[in-house]
């Protein structure tokens, strides 16, 4: 039984990473719709974290959100909402963080779901 435990743990961790990445991708899709419909210089964006049930928001300028989205694996999250197994913080701002995906599977999911990727 102990020989199967590491595999079970690996599968659980892979599922956690995939679920968290998909939640982040869904947040991104909402934010891109907000960005497209944005009027004026700022908008209220949703936290793109992978935490189930997060509905927190972040007010940013459209330009600031664009600077987050310079690559397919960059996501906007609130401080404390990053998930160490999935995210690596690459920028810290007073009201938000920018994280990138860790690991090839999370990056692949983010790339496949990115509507901006040609």
Per-residue pLDDT reduced to its tens digit, 50-68: 888 899 999 999 889 889 9
Q: Is residue 85 in some structural domain?
A: yes
In total, how many domains does the chain have? Answer: 1
C-alpha pair distances (Å), 26 with each of 3, 47, 81, 113 = 36, 10, 15, 9
**Which helix (H) or strand (E) is 106 found in, with range?**
helix 104-113
Task: Put the strands of the sheet holding 74-77 in their side by side order.
Answer: 74-77, 97-101, 87-92
Domain that includes residue 29, residue range? 5-113
Q: Is residue 63 in some structural domain?
A: yes
Q: Is residue 44 in some structural domain?
A: yes
Q: Is residue 118 in some structural domain?
A: no
Q: Residues 5-62: pLDDT tens digits? A: 566 667 887 787 778 877 877 778 777 877 777 666 888 999 999 888 899 999 999 8
**CB of 47 closer than 8 Å to CB of 57:** yes
Q: Is residue 26 in some structural domain?
A: yes
Q: What is the dihedral of CA 29, 118, 82, 104, to 10 degrees?
A: 140
Average pLDDT over residues 98-106: 79
- What's the distance, Cα to Cα, between the start and end of the chain in Å? 46
pLDDT of residue 6: 61
Whether the per-residue pLDDT at 1 is higher than 50: the answer is no
């Amino acid at each position: 039984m102990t020989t199967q435990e590491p595999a079970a743990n690996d599968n659980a961790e892979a599922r956690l990473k995939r679920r968290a990445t998909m939640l982040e991708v869904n947040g991104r899709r909402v934010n891109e719709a907000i960005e497209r419909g944005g009027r004026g210089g700022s908008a209220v964006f949703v936290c793109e974290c992978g935490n189930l049930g997060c509905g927190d928001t972040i007010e940013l300028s459209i330009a600031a959100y664009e600077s987050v989205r310079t690559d397919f694996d960059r996501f906007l999250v609130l401080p404390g909402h990053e998930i160490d197994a999935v995210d690596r913080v690459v920028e810290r701002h007073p009201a938000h963080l920018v994280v990138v995906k860790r690991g090839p599977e999370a990056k692949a999911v983010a790339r496949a779901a990115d509507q901006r990727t040609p």
